[in-house]
């Protein structure tokens, strides 16, 4: 009797939908309930796998520079959202909305970015806050 | 031709027609992206819900414990790393559905090759060949797949997936796992892959789920070489991002 009971409980508890696997890792490192706006200067744009990255210097009102590492989706996912590999370069001024790391370190997941030419891009084809990359 | 001969001829012709129909193929050639349904999409083309995942008790208890541990680690911002964090490919069946990445189906004589954009994974399905005994297949990420056509549906049988390769929802599985896929067009541009995983060691009953894809005409697959992996795994298995100073 014990086994069927246990199986029945699991049957009720583990009806899971066919959610596709995330590409590389969980995004639970980031606090996606938070949205932080950063305005700064691009020091590097890496169009790479498994993720693209923007390195950003942000200067506060006292003139102190804080550096941020911003994680994006992969090139394939970004291209589906309208990105191109040469969209950013050293010295570009950008404003972005990001979800910061829960650890408090100055790293974050991109939500949206206003490009130097005024375009607003997301982190792939899904709308901002649309979940997985 | 007398009546009995005529009846025999009709029977033979109908059997031949039936055989041809059973072997009829569909053209699955091309690139396919996950089809999520959603606003404006035809719900009739969406993937049906999965059946229940029912593990045998000796596997269910540690599986549930692991899931709780994973949830706690995620809440701390240190999600437990899967092998993919270290850029280890997914293998079969998970490579068939990775986030929004497409797959490319390439039929050639006697074989269908599927390339997944994420991690550039490749699997080969050998057509109209007998499957090998499980014990004769070296355990690996893609195992050994054979396929045949049934009324326009590609039926694929896969064995030989090693136990460290993730399966559905990271369920545990044994070396006896057998994966049966039924790939069929549900409309001109929507493809379903119905996947059934059976494992007599781990599962009380087979689990069946379906992946839906939409055709992507003209899409050129993007390379995916995992050469800038900034994620690292701590001693507890948690995932972290390397943040640069400048």
Is the residue at A1 inside a domain? no
- The answer to whether B77 contacts A101, with C-beta atoms less than 8 Å apart, is yes
Is the residue at A45 inside a domain? yes
Question: What does the CA dihedral A60, A61, A63, A66 come to, rounded to 10 degrees?
Answer: -10
For residue A6, what pLDDT is reported? 38
Task: Tell me which residue in A43, A46, A77 faces B228 most closely, judged by beta carbons.
Answer: A46
pLDDT digits (tens, 9 = 90+) for B123-176: 999 999 999 999 999 999 999 999 999 999 999 999 999 999 999 988 999 999
For residue A1, what pLDDT is reported? 35
Is the residue at A117 inside a domain? yes
pLDDT averaged per 10 residues in sequence order, chain A, 133 residues: 37 36 75 96 97 97 96 94 95 97 95 96 69 37
- The answer to whether A101 contacts B54, with C-beta atoms less than 8 Å apart, is no
ipTM over 0.95: no
pLDDT averaged per 10 residues in sequence order, chain B, 246 residues: 54 49 87 84 88 97 91 87 87 94 97 97 98 97 98 98 94 97 97 98 98 96 94 87 86
For residue B117, what pLDDT is reported? 97
Cα of B75 vs its chain's centroid, Å: 29
**Total domains, chain A:** 1
For residue A126, what pLDDT is reported? 61
Q: Give the start-end residues of each E strand in B46-163.
A: 103-108, 111-116, 121-127, 144-150, 153-159
For residue B231, what pLDDT is reported? 87
For residue B40, the SS3 value is coil
Task: Tell me which residue in B97, B222, B245 faces A67 most closely, judged by beta carbons.
Answer: B245
Q: Domains in chain B and their CATH numbers?
A: 26-241 (2.40.128.20)
Name the residue range of residue A92's domain. 26-122
Is the residue at A127 inside a domain? no
Question: Hey, is the C-beta of A103 within 8 angstroms of any chain B C-beta?
Answer: yes
Is the residue at A129 inside a domain? no
- CATH code of the domain containing A89: 2.40.50.140
Contacts of B227 in chain A (CB under 8 A): 48-49
For residue B123, what pLDDT is reported? 98
For residue A2, what pLDDT is reported? 39
- The answer to whether A14 contacts B82, with C-beta atoms less than 8 Å apart, is no
- The answer to whether B117 contacts A24, with C-beta atoms less than 8 Å apart, is no
For residue B70, what pLDDT is reported? 87
């Amino acid at each position: 009797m014990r086994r069927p009971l246990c199986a029945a409980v699991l049957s009720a508890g583990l009806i899971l939908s066919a959610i596709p696997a995330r590409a590389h890792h969980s995004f639970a490192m980031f606090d996606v309930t938070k949205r932080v706006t950063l305005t700064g200067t691009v020091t590097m744009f890496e169009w790479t796998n498994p993720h693209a990255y923007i390195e950003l210097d942000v200067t506060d009102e006292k003139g102190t520079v804080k550096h941020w590492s911003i994680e994006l989706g992969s090139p394939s996912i970004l291209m589906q959202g309208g990105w191109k590999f040469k969209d950013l370069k050293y010295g570009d001024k950008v404003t972005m909305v990001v979800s910061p790391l829960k650890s408090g370190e100055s790293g974050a997941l991109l939500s949206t970015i206003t490009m130097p030419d005024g375009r607003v891009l997301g982190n792939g084809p899904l709308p901002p806050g649309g979940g997985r990359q | 031709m007398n009546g009995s001969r005529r009846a025999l001829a009709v029977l033979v012709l109908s059997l031949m027609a039936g055989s041809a129909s059973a072997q009829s193929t569909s053209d699955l050639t091309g690139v396919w992206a996950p089809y999520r349904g959603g606003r404006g999409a035809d719900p009739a083309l969406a993937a049906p819900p999965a059946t229940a995942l029912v593990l045998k008790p000796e596997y269910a208890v540690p599986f549930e414990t692991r899931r709780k541990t994973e949830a706690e680690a995620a809440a701390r911002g240190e999600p437990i790393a899967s092998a993919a964090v270290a850029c280890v490919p997914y293998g079969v069946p998970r490579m068939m559905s990775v986030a929004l990445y497409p797959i490319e189906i390439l039929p050639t004589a006697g074989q269908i090759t599927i390339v997944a954009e994420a991690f550039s994974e490749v699997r080969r399905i050998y057509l109209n060949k007998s499957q090998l005994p499980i014990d004769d297949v070296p355990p690996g990420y893609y195992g050994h797949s054979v396929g045949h056509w049934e009324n326009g549906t590609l039926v694929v049988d896969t064995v030989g997936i090693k136990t460290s390769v993730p399966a559905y929802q990271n369920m545990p599985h044994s070396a006896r796992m057998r994966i049966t896929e039924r790939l069929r067009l549900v409309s001109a541009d929507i493809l379903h892959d119905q996947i059934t995983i059976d494992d007599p060691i781990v599962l009380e009953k087979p689990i069946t789920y379906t992946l839906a894809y939409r055709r992507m005409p003209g899409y050129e697959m993007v390379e995916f070489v995992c050469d800038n992996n900034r994620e690292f795994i701590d001693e507890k298995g948690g995932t972290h991002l390397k943040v640069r100073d400048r």
